[in-house]
């Protein structure tokens, strides 16, 4: 995590105070603000005609610091502007995704009795006019992170700045990404299961003013001393759940009702993140429980997506909600958030489930094709 800060310096002889951020200020700005002139002034306040060797050396050092910041850790605030979710989405709408579209599998292929049962008793099919938007979302999920695409880099920088509160750019590679909950120094290696849709949903989470407080709460919880978990890896796993729910047509009814696809995917992602937060915090979950929690989140998102979305709506309205037996309860405003009961959604399964990393082979349900 880069910092445009320096130790505070004060000249005892001249009484000149240099603020902590002075090392991050370009040399030209120092000249304009008269700081270098003050350094060159003698005790009587008169400026020497020729700068001393010490002053010239100091100037070279300032120039080197400025160059280092620009070349390695990025310059100060505003160097790479933040990007809104809609702007990023417009980029993908106009980008050439033909190669990515060739890889998508819009729906899960079913055979035999599973196909017959799904045809007669399964959810409705997605309206034809919405299939293009669905395919766009799945194509984004096939896109890898490209260092040469400015929009890709802006998405990364925006996520970093919004979660950490930093005003400064960060390096493309480094341990600071592990602090955000990626598995290594390069976030791109964690996106093989969800592609850039994994980053897009985090971007939506942190750039929507209604959901940003929740995103920061989840991120803060992920940094807890005993309840910590990798925030971004967990988030990408939630995106994987959302993609599976879409491909298995569990979201078709809601998409048809709202005549939207990507908005429904984003809302389900936030709603599932909210359920993760409530479960993790109130039941004192730790990283060893992550496999069980992810399995419950997946089962609930596929079985009762409408209830999850309703849960989010209630939460966003400012009312406290408890999750009880897979349903909802509206406690008094002073009661806060209560512990959810997972028994109804998880069932009687006692088999341990390992934490699902996005680079690990995906667990396949019966009759389900592999996720993208």
User: What does pTM read for this prediction?
Assistant: 0.68
Domain edges within the chain: 78-317
What pLDDT is attached to residue 318? Answer: 80
> Which of 170, 166, 242, 171 lies closest to 202 in space, CA to CA?
242
pLDDT, residue 96, reads 94
Distances in Å between the Cα of 355 and the Cα atoms of 143, 220, 237, 325, 334 are 24, 20, 10, 24, 35
CA distance 20 to 173: 26
Using CA atoms, how far apart are residues 356 and 360, in angstroms rounded to an integer?
7
Could you tell me the mean pLDDT of each successive run of 10 residues in the chain, 372 residues long? 44 42 42 43 48 66 46 49 96 95 82 58 84 96 95 97 93 94 94 94 96 95 94 97 95 95 97 96 94 95 94 83 48 39 35 36 36 33
CB atoms within 10 A of CB 113: 9
Cα(216)–Cα(135) distance, integer angstroms: 30
């Amino acid at each position: 995590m880069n910092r445009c800060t320096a130790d505070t310096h004060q000249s005892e002889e001249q009484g000149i105070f240099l603020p902590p951020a002075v090392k991050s200020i370009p040399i030209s700005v120092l000249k304009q603000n008269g700081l270098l002139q003050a350094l060159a002034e003698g005790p009587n306040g008169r400026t020497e005609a020729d700068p001393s060797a010490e002053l010239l050396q100091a100037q070279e050092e300032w120039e080197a610091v400025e160059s280092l910041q620009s070349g390695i850790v990025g310059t100060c605030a505003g160097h790479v502007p933040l990007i809104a979710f809609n702007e990023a989405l417009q980029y993908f709408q106009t980008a050439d995704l033909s190669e990515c579209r060739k890889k998508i599998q819009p729906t899960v292929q079913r055979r035999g009795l599973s196909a017959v049962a799904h045809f007669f008793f399964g959810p409705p099919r997605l309206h034809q006019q919405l299939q293009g938007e669905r395919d766009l979302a799945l194509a984004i999920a096939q896109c890898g992170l490209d260092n040469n695409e400015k929009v890709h880099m802006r998405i990364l920088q925006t996520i970093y700045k919004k979660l950490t509160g930093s005003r400064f750019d960060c390096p493309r590679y480094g341990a600071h990404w592990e602090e955000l909950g990626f598995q290594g120094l390069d976030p791109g290696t964690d996106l093989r299961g969800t592609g850039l849709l994994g980053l897009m949903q985090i971007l939506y989470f942190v750039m929507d003013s209604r959901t940003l407080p929740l995103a920061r709460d989840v991120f803060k919880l992920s940094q807890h001393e005993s309840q910590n978990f990798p925030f971004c890896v967990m988030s990408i796993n939630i995106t994987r759940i959302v993609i599976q729910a879409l491909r298995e047509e569990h979201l078709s009814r809601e998409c048809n009702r709202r005549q939207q696809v990507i908005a429904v995917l984003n809302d389900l992602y936030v709603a599932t993140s909210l359920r993760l937060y409530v479960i993790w915090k109130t039941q004192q979950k730790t990283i060893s429980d992550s496999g069980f929690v992810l399995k419950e989140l997946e089962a609930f998102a596929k079985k009762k997506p409408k209830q999850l979305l309703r849960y989010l709506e209630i939460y966003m309205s400012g009312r406290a909600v408890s999750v009880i037996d897979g349903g909802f309860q509206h406690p008094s405003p002073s009661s806060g958030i209560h512990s959810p009961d997972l028994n109804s959604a998880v069932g009687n399964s006692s088999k341990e489930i390992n934490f699902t990393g996005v680079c690990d082979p995906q667990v396949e349900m019966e009759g389900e094709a592999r996720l993208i």
